[in-house]
Amino acid sequence: YFRGKFAMAAVSGLEPKQLWSNFAQLAEIPRPSKKEEKVLVWLQKIAEELKLEYVQDQTGNMVIKRPGSGGGEAAAPVLIQGHIDMVTESNEPFDFENKAIELVRDGDYITANGTTLGADNGIGVAAALALLQMPRSAKLPPLECLFTVDEETGLTGAKQLNGEMLSAKTMLNLDTEEWGSVYVGCAGGGDSVITVPATHETLTGEHGDFEAFSLKISGLKGGHSGIDIASGRSNAVRLAAVVIMEAVSLFGAENVLVVDIKGGNKRNAIARECTATICVRSDSETKLRELCAEKSRQFSREFGSVETGLKLELSPDSNIPSEALTATSTRALLCLLTSLPHGVIRMSPVIGDLVETSSNMAAICYDEKEKVYTLTCSTRSSVASALENVRLQIKMLAEMCGGTVSQPEAYPGWQPNLESKIVKVTSACYESLTSEKPKLLAIHAGLECGLINDRCGITETVSFGPTIHGAHSPDEKVEIATVAPFFELVVAVLGELADAR
């Protein structure tokens, strides 16, 4: 696959030479998520040229093994891990399945010409290969270099990894984008899908004179349900439910009828919008408008510093519905929407400003065919027991309100342990190289590390890498000056581990 003319020109003269050469070659090979076959053939060829053992599982993940050397022959094996797929975004239409990425040297950065660069996680992959290509005299422990597939669209490779291919209990993950930061933990997660039967009653003359209204919450920021959950952002579904609940409480269930409510979209996003259709008696219209105006002021006081675009709108609906939810269904639905856990539940006692456990009430929609409402919740935690405790709470609340719950198996987190050997070794090596202490961080989102730790029985893990800006966009670029020290740190840590017995 490697033509190399443009790619090698972009990285000419850069150090470490072997790492940049590997990256330039990798840029020539198309590798969208789920279509990594050409890269896997390339990796196999490299392993064969180096006369190294390699093995591949049914999902496509590949492990290349290098014996210890330079005095590290008897050391415990170390897992080096990165993913080979890349996000495919471009400014103009681009055939990512057949065309090479065009590397560009732009001052202090390597970037691409109008497309994502693939430094996420191509630099990590190139570094792992550079380790395999080091001289046989290099001081290294036995290495198990794991190249996973389809990280970007669902962590598929890590989720389906055959852990029997690996024996290492210490891992260096090379998929971090902030030089100077060493990641030591991440959240696991699990969804809860609640199904609530919806019973309706027909609106007839006996119900009296009703007017229909559309209630809309919009303009919220939304965001990632893990990374942004502690930012003070609100949830549109929760706000709409609070308004309706208060209307029912003030006017009486017989005077406020809920026709429909829908809001939120993706399971891993905080709900930005929610719309409800409700009916109130004609003589309550003024009170309803006053209530909405007051709730809008309250929401602004509570969330306005963050949710600057928040809107609560009430508008007449000329189409008077023929049916509405019964009082029992309304009560069950509002109980869930105002009581399900949402937001930060516990902060980490180990890492400052890190959310340990949270839950996101992500979405609600009505299934006309099945006559049920479906509510989706996404819960995260770096502590498995805390994660399952919240999911149990969701399950019990749902069942108390007449619903049923489907909870697929959660994916594991990676609990921070600042006292672990690999964290101390990595920190010491970083400080020796830079005369500064690294930032020890964790992320409230899912990473491959948690899954691989779980599937392979890994007990010691860190994640670090060079500085990459604009990942997942055509603006992606890697800061050249951070790549050499990143690789030096990898080699230094492995040198220390080579001495361990």
* Residue showing tokens 């937001």: 343
Distance CA 385, CA 383 (A): 6
Distance CA 194, CA 175 (A): 35
Distance CA 487, CA 465 (A): 8
Residue 479 known to be catalytic: no
Q: What is the DSSP string of 372-387?
A: EEEEEEEEEESSHHHH
Distance CA 341, CA 243 (A): 18
Residue 151 known to be catalytic: yes
CB hemisphere CA count around 287 (13 angstroms) = 17
Of these residues, 28, 150, 151, 448, which one is catalytic?
151
Diameter of the chain measured on Cα atoms? 91
425 within 8 A of 224, measured Cβ to Cβ: no
What is the amino acid identity at position 313?
Answer: E
- Give the residue among 134, 23, 146 at the shortest CA–CA distance from 83: 146
Instruction: DSSP letter for 170, please.
Output: E
**Residue partners of 155: CB distance under 8 A and separation at least 6:** 411, 446, 448, 451
Q: Which two structure tokens, joined as six digits, stand for 224?
A: 């990632």
Q: Considering Cα of 227, then 232, then 236, then 238, what sign does the dihedral take? A: positive
Q: At 379, is the secondary structure helix, strand, or coil?
A: strand
- Give the residue among 454, 452, 375 at the shortest CA–CA distance from 407: 375
Of these residues, 36, 85, 307, 496, which one is catalytic?
85
The phi, psi pair for 311, rounded to 5°, reads -130, 135
48 within 8 A of 42, measured Cβ to Cβ: no
What is the amino acid identity at position 241?
Answer: A
Distance CA 12, CA 460 (A): 36
Active-site residue list: 85, 151
